[in-house]
Amino acid sequence: MDFNDTPTEAAFRTEVRKFIQSEAPKPQKGQTATEALMGNWQANQEWFKKLGSKGWIAPAWPKEYGGAGMTTVEQFIFNEEMALNKAPRPMHMIIGLGMAGPTLIVHGTDEQKQKFLPGMLAGNDIWCQGYSEPESGSDLASLKTRAVRDGDDYVINGQKIWTTLAHMANYMILLTRTDPDAPKHRGITYFILDMKTPGVEVRPLYNLGNSHEFNEVFFDNVRIPKDNVIGEENRGWYAAVTTLDFERSSIGSATGMKQHVEELLEYAKAHADDPTSTLRTNPMLRYELADRMIETEVARMLSYRVASMQNRGLIPNYEASSLKLFSTELNQRIAKSAMHILGLYGQLHGDAAPGKGRWLSTFLRSAAYTIEGGTSEIQRNIIAQRGLSLPRD
């Protein structure tokens, strides 16, 4: 793979960088892109409109669906420049833009694309993902939420859990069991669910950091029209795997992680002369920081690999799992390194705390990264079986 930009790609990178620097809301010093996003919602909505006018809300989507028709490498360049310049991204739309939308483009009907894609691009519709269940997480194909055909509708009963943004979502991409007698991978159907449908109940779940992202969702005789089936009845697993590949390709940002390590380096340098500094009491932390910086470069190389494959028309499978596995575990290692370097200060909240207390929240949240999108154990199995051709257990 050629790591250098082509002349066209270099020109595009320059265009994106200049556009961001002149048009994007400016984060405050030490503020992350997510904090900037939530802190000035109105200004960011104007920013998203500017991105939308250039087709840059979903850059690699085909132009006929509202994207810019970019190559995968151009979208990678766009994402990299957005991260490098800490430009706010429409994070509340990530499941729609990054997972549901691309899946509909591959597997959806023309009517579904015309009905659902515009709302994603406009930022009017928030989506959630109805995959995991209380007894079906890593073994997703064992799911039990039931869908029974009744005329032009399907009637849904069951439960989903760890459903990110379900309390805010307009729509859900939903996996159900439609043939309980078929082998578990072959009796699953994939739906689009309007979250306002009668019989849908959402209950909050709070993570270790006491923030409300996750939910459990209950379905009591919920009716979904047959036109909302993605792909074919009983063959939803194949579309679901497409969604998982898109999800695993996008979890974790090498650039964002590198910025976090750089922030820790700045903190360490600023407190190097402090006699109580952890770097004085534990000189090995210097090597720990060096390890984290090197690992962010490894994550970047894995990202390049996935982007290169997508640019050649290939769908990364175990390659996406490799990226997901390494990036999410690296997120945890960076958060642990932050706690080591900050010492007792890492337990503080508030504006006076290092990073305004963000590192404590990051540390507590990091446990979820290696679970969502498929656990690390699942990713290792995929790599072993599909990448290394090892036998199943």
The residues annotated with a catalytic role in the active site are 247
Residues in Cβ contact with 199 at an 8 Å cutoff, skipping those fewer than 6 apart? 156, 219, 220, 221, 222, 223
Q: Report the greatest alpha carbon distance in the chain.
A: 75
Q: Please choose, from the candidates 379, 377, 296, 294, the residue with its C-alpha nearest in 3D space to the C-alpha of residue 331.
A: 296
Burial class (CB in 10 A: 0-12, 13-18, 19+), 197: middle
**Residue 161 near residue 205, CB atoms below 8 Å:** yes
Amino acid residing at 192: I
In residues, how long is the chain? 393
Amino acid residing at 367: A
Structure tokens at 387: 């990448």
The alpha carbon dihedral of 74, 75, 77, 81 has a sign of positive
Between CA 310 and CA 71 the distance in angstroms is: 9
